[in-house]
Amino acid sequence: MSSQPLIESRVCFASGQRARVLTAHGECDAFLSGALEYSAESAADLPATGDYVLVRPIDAATVLIEQLLPRRTRLSRRAAGTRHEEQVLAANVDLALILCGLDGDFNPRRIERYLAVAHEGGVEPVIVLNKADCCDDREERLAAARAVAGDSLVLLISALSGEGCQALAGLLAPGVTAVLLGSSGAGKSTLLNRITGSDTHATAAVREHDSRGRHTTTHRELIVLATGAALIDTPGLREIQLWAGEAGVAAVFDDIATLAARCRFADCTHASEPGCAVRDAVDPARLTSFHKLRREAARHDDPRPEKSRWRAIHKAQKQLYKMRGR
């Protein structure tokens, strides 16, 4: 066992057992200690981009991650696949920059989803409408984004021309950590390059017919800016399955909660009940989205492990048949 003291450092890249961390001496390769790996109950207990960790130097360019420090905030999604498992996208983040291209990418429903994820993790969301340079109906889209934004800031920018980027850069005060979220092709890496004034991050054109990106960025990476702020670039997500409870969703649909107080029935579902104050006042697409996210959140609050439940039922059934001599 080495007698080197533990040093606090920040994870700027994490992938399985390998990571990279930022120390006072620069960036190092990092490995997880066996103890950390074995004590983790799920993948969410392992270091993620943005985590603070205690490391033990092995040599000048390599460290061992011994301990994960508690997360102040986090952005998580439900891991892809069928298992009910949390995937931490970024940890200790102050601002979630929810990028939405003003081309075919624009989608208020997706913005609502990202807002719920941010609220759940204790992260302040900022809605960033990008590609203002190629949008003819910016006022209309700005209004549509504001309609779902609640109290969150909505910015209109062009990462390509630089329009509006000054205001955004102004949010990145020293010590602030922000994460770029959004679909592939929304312009996250282009914006990162604009802010850092470099071309270090690869970008690629979106498909002409549907504005979808090509999944150019492949991993989450934290970059420390000259100002002392940190910015995390992420790969565009194919899906952002909610990792949020009802409270996280409710925070995004304040307007519906306020109106619902005036529905005739206290348990009104705003479907077909008489005297509903919500149905006629809220955009039907938003109401549908509210119901959908609430259902997902309910599964999160009360995760019924379907498979294991059925496995137990089948086992009990088999035993019963056996007892009956079948």
Ligand X SMILES: Nc1nc2c(ncn2[C@@H]2O[C@H](COP(=O)(O)OP(=O)(O)OP(=O)(O)O)[C@@H](O)[C@H]2O)c(=O)[nH]1
Contact partner at residue 276 from Mg ion, ligand X, Zn ion, none, CB < 5 to 8 Å by partner kind? Zn ion
Nearer to Mg ion, 55 or 192 (CB): 192
Residue type, 150: G
Q: How far is the CB of 13 from Mg ion (least distance, A)?
A: 15
Nearer to Zn ion, 97 or 268 (CB): 268
- In whole angstroms, give the CA distance from residue 90 to residue 153: 21
Binding residues for ligand X, per CB under 6 A?
130-131, 133-134, 158-160, 182, 184-190, 203-206, 213-217, 235-236
Closest C-alpha to 180, from 104, 122, 235, 123? 235
Alpha helices in the chain, H assignment, sequence order: 34-39, 108-121, 138-149, 165-170, 188-196, 246-250, 254-260, 284-301, 306-323
278-297 residues near Zn ion, rule: CB under 5 A: 278
Q: What are the distances in angstroms from CA 302 to CA 33, 83, 267, 297?
A: 33, 14, 20, 9
Cα-to-chain-centroid distance, residue 282: 26
Binding residues for Mg ion, per CB under 5 A?
188-189, 216-217
Contact partner at residue 281 from ligand X, Zn ion, Mg ion, none, CB < 5 to 8 Å by partner kind? none
Q: How far is the CB of 108 from ligand X (least distance, A)?
A: 18
Q: How many C-beta atoms lie closer than 10 Å to residue 314's C-beta?
A: 10
Residue type, 209: H
- In whole angstroms, give the CA distance from residue 111 to residue 130: 13
Nearer to Mg ion, 236 or 248 (CB): 236
Q: How far is the CB of 280 from Zn ion (least distance, A)?
A: 10
Q: How far is the CB of 252 from Zn ion (least distance, A)?
A: 18
Q: How far is the CB of 207 from ligand X (least distance, A)?
A: 10
Question: What does DSSP say about strands 62-68 and 74-78: parallel, antiparallel, or unpaired?
Answer: unpaired
Stretch that binds Zn ion, among 53-61, 102-110, 137-145, 264-272 (CB under 5 A): 264-272
Nearer to Mg ion, 201 or 299 (CB): 201
Q: How far is the CB of 170 from ligand X (least distance, A)?
A: 18
Residue corresponding to tokens 């960025």: 217
Q: How far is the CB of 238 from ligand X (least distance, A)?
A: 10
Q: Which tokens is 244 given?
A: 């949020």
DSSP-derived letter for residue 213 is -
Nearer to Zn ion, 3 or 272 (CB): 272
Contact partner at residue 79 from ligand X, Mg ion, Zn ion, none, CB < 5 to 8 Å by partner kind? none
Q: Is the Cα torsion angle 201, 195, 122, 28 positive or negative in sign?
A: positive
Nearer to ligand X, 57 or 185 (CB): 185
Which residues lie near Zn ion (CB under 5 A)? Answer: 263, 268, 270, 276, 278
